[in-house]
Amino acid sequence: MSRVSAVSFSHFLPSLLLLLAGLSAAYIKDLSVFFTSLFNVLPTLVLLLGGSYCAVYRRQRELFLMITVYIAYFLLDTQTDFYRDHGRVREDAAVVFHLCCLLLPLLFSIYALWQEKTHLFRDFVARGAVLLAIGSVALALEQSFPVAVLNWLAEIRWPVLHGAWMSLIQLSYPMFLIGFLTLAAQYWYQPRPLHAAQLVGLLGLFWMLPQTFILPFTLNIMCSQVMLMIAAGVAHEAYQMAFRDELTGLPGRRALNERMQRLGRNYVLAMSDVDHFKRFNDTHGHDVGDQVLRLVASKLSKVNGGGRAYRYGGEEFAVVFAGKTVEECLPHLEEIRVIIADYAIKLRNLDRPQDDHQGRQRRAGSGASSVSVTISIGVAERQAEQRTPEEVLKSADQALYAAKGAGRNCVVAAGQTRRGAVRESAAG
């Protein structure tokens, strides 16, 4: 799977919805007593529930992300409460606010980029030590040298880059920019729902900080939303692990079982199998075998006619057509069979070249070879005497065996036979 194709809007959707909900709630001027009370306890409630969820599933990176956001919330909330109660800010408000604006994106980015380690206890201690060290330094500076620290933080170091719209200290802007770029690179190389949540969460924090003393409950709402984004990213990945096949990206066996319970009365099920896959795997190696499975999965995922492809297991795939007849589905399955059979997979020689130029020359010449794989497909339509989708799937499986017996590389509906062929070639 290419990195570009792996970028999925579905990774960002939950976090974007939470961000939009937070923005909408923050701009509501008149809040009822219920929502006022809710927003006061929401960050703590989200941390307890979301943090417990991450702790139970040993997701330490996400746990420390939530803790970092909550510490910033607690420090700033103390300042905003004083401001609302007395109509003025505390003497240390500027120092605390500026330190949060500088350290929040720093710590958030560190923990977002810090991958989980195998040894959980050591990983937990290391993360806690970083948080303790940075927090202790910040506390010491805030207590000992408030005026000097404030002047150092508020200094405009790059007048050319400073704009009138900037409402944060200048140092926080490059910190947010570096964090955003590194998190974007992390998502580019490892597209995961959690990495998408981290990106959107950093944007939410960037919007929140300038509004902390301006819009009521902005701090409570956005910190809660960012922590919810992290928890939602963990839940999204847990769902993918349970219902989506990691190698091919298709929905897996469990997702197929759930889908079959909601098919209704009229549907078609197809079972497909890569021809001679074991022999192909033994000949060319497991890496090429995995490449073949990803190729077949990518083609099956684009089947027309309303079909939805699933990885059934091993080299077997299932395709579900809801509300269709077998006559309507056969042309679309035949089209996919032909596309896969005509696709040539390029193979490299075992003696790999030492540089890219030599590799391009070999691939353009006789050093490169190609193979084509084929699939056999069995199709079954739900009949009146079949009470469950499992019975229809069994009929499709029997049709698949008939396709194998008919010569492979063909589509066979239940009760039919048709001969096909397997092709394998080397490009000269």
pLDDT tens digits, one per residue of 338-396? 999 998 877 655 444 445 455 444 444 444 577 788 999 999 998 888 888 999 999 99
**SS3 (DSSP) at 22:** helix
Q: Please tell me the predicted confidence (pLDDT) of residue 428.
A: 32
The one catalytic residue in 62, 246, 258, 315 is 315
Provide CB contacts within 8 A for 317, sequence distance 6+: 250, 271, 272, 273, 296, 297, 300, 309, 310, 311
Q: Report which secondary-structure segment, H or E, holds 293.
A: helix 286-300
* Lowest mean pLDDT segment, chosen from 4-18, 38-52, 400-414: 4-18
Q: Are strands 267-274 and 316-322 parallel, antiparallel or unpaired?
A: antiparallel
Q: Clarify whether 91 is annotated catalytic.
A: no
pLDDT tens digits, one per residue of 251-306? 888 889 888 888 888 899 999 999 988 888 888 788 888 888 998 999 999 999 88
Average pLDDT, the chain: 85
pTM exceeds 0.85: no
Pull the structure tokens for residue 386.
Answer: 């079949």
Phi first, then psi, for residue 316 (nearest 5°) are -100, 140
Tokens 């200290």: give the residue.
169
pLDDT band at 426 (very low <50, low <70, confident <90, very high): very low
pLDDT tens digits, one per residue of 152-196? 988 988 888 888 888 899 999 999 999 999 999 999 988 889 999
pLDDT band at 6 (very low <50, low <70, confident <90, very high): very low
Q: Which of 389, 235, 232, 227 is CA-nearest to residue 310? A: 389
Q: Please tell me the predicted confidence (pLDDT) of residue 4.
A: 38
